[in-house]
A = this chain, B = another copy of it.
Amino acid sequence: VNGIPETLRVDERATRPAIDLWIGFAAPPPMEGAVVLHDRSPAAIWALAARSGVEDASRVGVVANDADGIAAARAAGAGAVIALSSDSADRQVLLHAQPDHLVEPDALPALLERAYSAERAMRSFVLLNPGPGLTTAGVRRAATVADVCHREPEFGAIDAGVRRKLRAVADVGVDWRAVLLAGSGTLADEAALRAAVRPGARVVVVRNGVYGERLHEIARRAGFLPIPVDAPWTEPVDPAAVAAELRADVDAVAVVHHETTTGLLNPLAEIAAVTRAAGVRLMVDAVSSFGAEPITLRGSGIDFLACSANKCLHGLPGLAFVLVSPDGVERAMQSGPATLYADLRGYLEAEDRGSPPFTPSVPATLALDQALDELLALGVGRHQAAYRRRAAILDEGFQRLGLRGLVAPEHRSSSIRTVTLPEGVSYDRLHALLKQEGFVIYAGQGPLAATAFRVACMGALDEELMSAFVERLGAAIAACQSAVVA
């Protein structure tokens, strides 16, 4: 039985086969239970589906052995379009009709098991890892609505629209720049951090989690002789400790706003006040906070904010960005790029010329455009409130189940929880039991891997789903513990 509410992602639940009705166009039927249809037309496929009570095109699968059958299946919107080939001379023609798969009859059973059974690898689990998370149908559809040349004006308009919408979410004016990068959040971190520091200058790096350590490593490799300001992984850094390290040769401070390691928030506004007062640049990794947490950028002292599309904005992975203040742009122009791909200045100059410097992640850009439309249609405040409500369901549920959060309530974000594994519960077993129910949780990071697990509420989730998860979590923990007792 399926743990995911019927209302959510109705056509993509994780624990049933992908296809309810299989159709073939020639006797004998391609597999047991399939229906043979002699009319290779979408109307015939639809009529059969309706008669069979399968009122969802994506849950109809078609096995065809010619191009007309493939075309009919595609036009009907079938969720599986399989071309069957027994004669190798057919292959070019069949491939040209663009099926989802081309197989020899012998290989069909294995394909059905691998790609369409209840146990298929690519099923829609409810992702409670800290991104990439669940996306909406609209976002996934927008990603591949058309193949687009990135040098044509239609892509330029999308690119400009994404930058405009990012500024709207950030509540900054056109004096801020938004630089889009094809890559992960770490690329945005590297581009932003390198741009914040002039040749020969140093950078103070806050380290209280894996991502703070990563910023330190980026700075070290860049030759910036980073000055670490450390705090325990479960404690926010003290802004005064940052202030104390601002020697004359320090050009910038780098800090992770929200440590994905633990779900800990660092005191961003207070650190920004310190850097603003000192006149040094502030580079912020907001990869797992931007969109979900309120962040004041305008006039705050923050100069570089690095983020990715696929966390709290609900876009697809493969795209990252940096928001840059006017002071940040000035600093970027003085930085000494020792890399080409992570050189923020190069991207800024390319934007001035009107074309991206390198081939962008076109599908992820189209997807982010759609995700931002959806976010702005709901409203930034309501988007953030929805995160807080989902996190509250987790907090209440964990308390009810007697689970201990690693971070004190006042320092927790609204998107990630790190929870100590209860007595007798191994992560692997807990993960496996919950995955059977359709939920994917996330391991603790570094030394926490053995003692804790993580649950994120990023992505196109809802409260009903979080409540269902808490219930299943309780049952899974009980199952682990009773197995130990037995």
Residues on A close to B: CB < 8 A? 10-12, 41-43, 46-47, 49-50, 55-58, 71, 74-77, 91-92, 95-96, 98-102, 121-125, 127, 129, 131-138, 140-152, 154, 157-158, 182-187, 190, 214, 217-218, 221-223, 308, 310, 316-319, 337-343, 357-364, 366, 373-374, 377-378, 382, 440, 442-443, 459-460, 462
CB distance from A200 to the nearest CB of B (A): 15
Known contacts: A184-B360, A341-B186. The answer to whether A122 contacts B146 by CB under 8 A is yes
Q: Are B340 and A221 within 8 A (Cβ)?
A: yes
How many angstroms from the CA of A385 to the CA of B435 in the assembled complex? 45
* Residue of B137, B310, B318, B440 touching A152 (CB-CB under 8 A): B440
Q: Are A214 and B98 within 8 A (Cβ)?
A: no
Q: Are A10 and B186 within 8 A (Cβ)?
A: no
Q: Are A144 and B144 within 8 A (Cβ)?
A: yes
* Residue picked from A12, A43, A134, A317, most chain B C-beta under 10 Å: A317
Contacts of A221 in B (CB 8 A): 337-340, 343
CB distance from A459 to the nearest CB of B (A): 7
How many angstroms from the CA of A230 to the CA of B426 in the assembled complex? 61
How many angstroms from the CA of A329 to the CA of B304 in the assembled complex? 35
Q: Are B183 and A151 within 8 A (Cβ)?
A: no
Q: Are A151 and B129 within 8 A (Cβ)?
A: yes
Contacts of A146 in B (CB 8 A): 12, 122-125
Contacts of A154 in B (CB 8 A): 121-122
Q: Are B122 and A149 within 8 A (Cβ)?
A: no
Known contacts: A41-B55, A91-B377, A99-B138. The answer to whether A459 contacts B340 by CB under 8 A is no
CB distance from A416 to the nearest CB of B (A): 14
How many angstroms from the CA of A384 to the CA of B151 in the assembled complex? 26
How many angstroms from the CA of A45 to the CA of B151 in the assembled complex? 38
How many angstroms from the CA of A124 to the CA of B366 in the assembled complex? 14
How many angstroms from the CA of A95 to the CA of B151 in the assembled complex? 32
How many angstroms from the CA of A442 to the CA of B359 in the assembled complex? 14
Provide 7 A-B residue pairs closer than 8 Å at the C-beta atoms, listed in order of the A residue: A43-B55, A57-B77, A77-B77, A183-B183, A183-B341, A187-B358, A342-B342
Q: Are B190 and A340 within 8 A (Cβ)?
A: yes
Q: Are A317 and B363 within 8 A (Cβ)?
A: yes
How many angstroms from the CA of A310 to the CA of B146 in the assembled complex? 14
Q: Nearest 7 CB-CB pairs, A to B?
A: A77-B77, A318-B361, A57-B77, A318-B318, A46-B46, A121-B154, A140-B144
Contacts of A149 in B (CB 8 A): 125, 127, 129, 132, 440, 442
Q: Are A182 and B378 within 8 A (Cβ)?
A: no
Contacts of A183 in B (CB 8 A): 182-183, 187, 341, 358
Contacts of A55 in B (CB 8 A): 41-43, 75-76
How many angstroms from the CA of A295 to the CA of B99 in the assembled complex? 29
- Quick one: closest B residue to A114, CB to CB? B157
Contacts of A95 in B (CB 8 A): 136, 374, 377-378
Q: Are A148 and B131 within 8 A (Cβ)?
A: no
How many angstroms from the CA of A49 to the CA of B462 in the assembled complex? 34
Known contacts: A55-B41, A144-B140, A318-B182. The answer to whether A11 contacts B338 by CB under 8 A is no
* Residue of B152, B222, B357 touching A338 (CB-CB under 8 A): B222
CB distance from A232 to the nearest CB of B (A): 24
How many angstroms from the CA of A183 to the CA of B129 in the assembled complex? 22
Known contacts: A132-B150, A218-B340, A443-B151. The answer to whether A382 contacts B92 by CB under 8 A is yes
- Quick one: closest B residue to A133, CB to CB? B147
CB distance from A112 to the nearest CB of B (A): 15
* Residue of B143, B319, B462 touching A96 (CB-CB under 8 A): B462
- Quick one: closest B residue to A94, CB to CB? B377
Known contacts: A98-B136, A101-B138, A362-B318. The answer to whether A143 contacts B144 by CB under 8 A is yes
Q: Are B316 and A363 within 8 A (Cβ)?
A: yes
* Residue picked from A43, A96, A149, A152, most chain B C-beta under 10 Å: A149
How many angstroms from the CA of A141 to the CA of B141 in the assembled complex? 9
Q: Are A147 and B124 within 8 A (Cβ)?
A: yes
How many angstroms from the CA of A99 to the CA of B57 in the assembled complex? 16
Q: Are A58 and B43 within 8 A (Cβ)?
A: no
CB distance from A191 to the nearest CB of B (A): 8
